[in-house]
Chain A
Amino acid sequence: MADEQEQKPAAKPAPAPAAPLARTKDEVLADPIVAPVTSAMAGAFLHAKEQVGEISLYVTPDAIVEVCRAFKAHGFTYLVDLCGVDYSTFPGHAGERFCVNYLLYSFKQNVRIRLKLFVAEGVSVRSVTGVWKTANWHERETFDMFGIPFTGHPNLERILMWEGFNGHPLRKDFPIRGIDTGARIYPEVFPPGGGPMPGSTGKAHGDVNIWKGPAVPLGRSPKGEVPETKQVEAPQGGDEGKADA
């Protein structure tokens, strides 16, 4: 039973059987949960949406630290999650490529809100580590996976990939099967500090494949390129195969 429209709010436990229309940007901005901050800093909010009961506010990149501080002062003392999204292959998306999402929670009101921040590639975002200490590792992970630099971060290093890795895995142009990162193993073939640029498979360097096995492509069930199998005769008495241990 998928909804047809884009936004169907269920913010309050609505008893009305007819689904109300989606709230407009101004109505969401005027919601009492976020009103103290949105009215004080109206210029910082580009847009506001509400979906499945969650309020998302679109913030300008320059004002993010002030907005976060204001929300923290108004009870949103808990940063639940900070993640990045690459919107480059999203159908119908016209803005900047990357989006950083901040999910805040307020103990007093028991609500969550989301702040969204759109940045282009290469543009850095101001770090909110000074507002919530937990943003430290989340921002490191966003930098590692997407390549969004954070200014003012105490220790912006890669966290999940190893240092010296070349590429940002969760970007949409990073191949899902990975890139050949043979630099550590074949230093005479690859440049120091990481493997070849994403998009290459190492074939230019003489097809270096450390597994030396057949390349099984990922994706839908393929026809072809499967390894040779030995044909097995149908047994007479069912004794075929390995013996029981």
Chain B
Amino acid sequence: MTQTMLNLHEMEISFGPQHPSTHGVLRVMVKIDGERIVDAKPIIGYLHRGTEKLFEAMNYPQCVPHTDRMDYVASATNNQGFVGAVEKLLGLTEQIPRRAKIIRVMLAELQRISSHLLWLATHAIDLGAMTPFFYTFRERELILDLFEDYCGARLTLNCMRIGGQADDIDAAWIQKLNDFLGIFDAALDEYESLLTMNRIWRKRTIGIGVIAPDDAIDWGLTGPPLRGSGIEWDIRRAFPYEVYSELKFEIPVGRNGDTYDRYLCRMEEMRQSKKILEQCISMIAETKEGDLKAKVSRVIRPPEGEAYFSVECPKGELGYYIISDGKNQNAYRCHVRPPSFVNLSALPDLVKGHLVADMVAVIGTIDIVLGEVDR
């Protein structure tokens, strides 16, 4: 009633680089009017390490451990993208032995499950549900143990080589994988029992961060943010690589394009990954053990040219664009098309009009990893 002396400007808050919910060092300058967000401006670059410049200074085989570190949560798919791009330049794609291709698919799908488990853990804990964090990390430990048995490292795998694979899998590893898949369905049901029908979860995620399909395409979204809006598009179907053309799996698609649909998409993707792994286990029994590498010289010097190769990483479409000048052993230019970078650029559109607490939900649902955003 009475005029207050308060300035009725919008307040600008720095959702700062040090924040437990931003999944890394992300800064968002948020303009709020009361509790409603008027505008949000992400500021990135805190984790920029100059990876693309480093790629120009190293040989192709030496670049592979560096690709691990971009999306450090899902490093097998990073490796797969880089190695696939170099093989495309060299013309080796058909000569990779079948066993190596199947192993790559298995690692990529395991990595997808592991990345989605971590996404679920952090997304849930950001929104207040602290329990799934512990349960998902318990299953994730089993996956990391599988990786450790395969290549020796748990997080930054460096598991793929140009021309094939370096390590082979044996019956013990497959047995361990089967044990994991045996308990995985029950574990997923457990997480769903905590979240999917929970009214608190639904209230916090339905209707939040809605994006229409045409906007999603215009903003260049890929992965679950695009599929949550109803567009059925997956690199594994559109441009099949490795043995994906032979595998039977479905692509989960949402209807409304909100946070809840993206959550359901990712849960279903984990189940589909389990199906893919089961098919791979039966496929690999028919291949010859030890046949893991195509004939590629020790010195990798692709001919002059450029190639773009993309893989479906858990966050979206991860693409590598490599230009080779034909004379050196290192790339002339290696550009990475990071899905988190592109998905994050749509953040202002996704949060306008929501409350400040929904900003956390939206950042969690886009599933960014700052190592990939900043490279």
Contacts and interface: CB of A to CB of B under 8 A. Distances in A.
Given A8-B91, A134-B218, A176-B57, A161 B295 contact: no
Nearest to B332: A90
Interface string B299-333: 00111111110100000010101010111000011
A80 B337 contact: yes
A132 B295 CA distance: 42
Nearest to B49: A160
B218 A5 contact: no
B233 interface: yes
A158 B56 CA distance: 22
Interface centre among B44, B56, B217 (most CB of A within 10 A): B217
Contacts of A110: 238-239
Q: Is the interface of A mostly helix, strand, loop or mixed?
A: loop
A133 B91 contact: no
Interface string A122-166: 000000000011101110010001000000000000111110000
B279 interface: no
Contact of B306 (A51, A107, A132): A51
Contacts of B218: 77, 132-134
Interface string B52-64: 1110110000000
A161 B95 contact: no
A159 B321 CA distance: 20
B25 to A, nearest CB: 12
B91 A112 contact: no
Number of contact residues on B: which range applies? 35 or more
Contact of A85 (B54, B323, B342): B323
Contact of B321 (A77, A101, A161, A174): A101
Nearest to B309: A52
Interface residues of A, number: 48
B107 interface: no
A1 B92 contact: yes
Interface in B110-147: none
B341 A91 contact: no
Contacts of A56: 306
B11 to A, nearest CB: 21
Given A80-B317, A134-B345, A170-B52, A2 B308 contact: no
A208 interface: no
B38 interface: no
B344 to A, nearest CB: 8
A216 interface: no
Interface of A: 1-8, 51-52, 54, 56, 77-81, 83, 85-86, 90-91, 101, 103, 107, 110, 112, 114, 132-134, 136-138, 141, 145, 158-162, 169-170, 174, 176, 178, 218-219
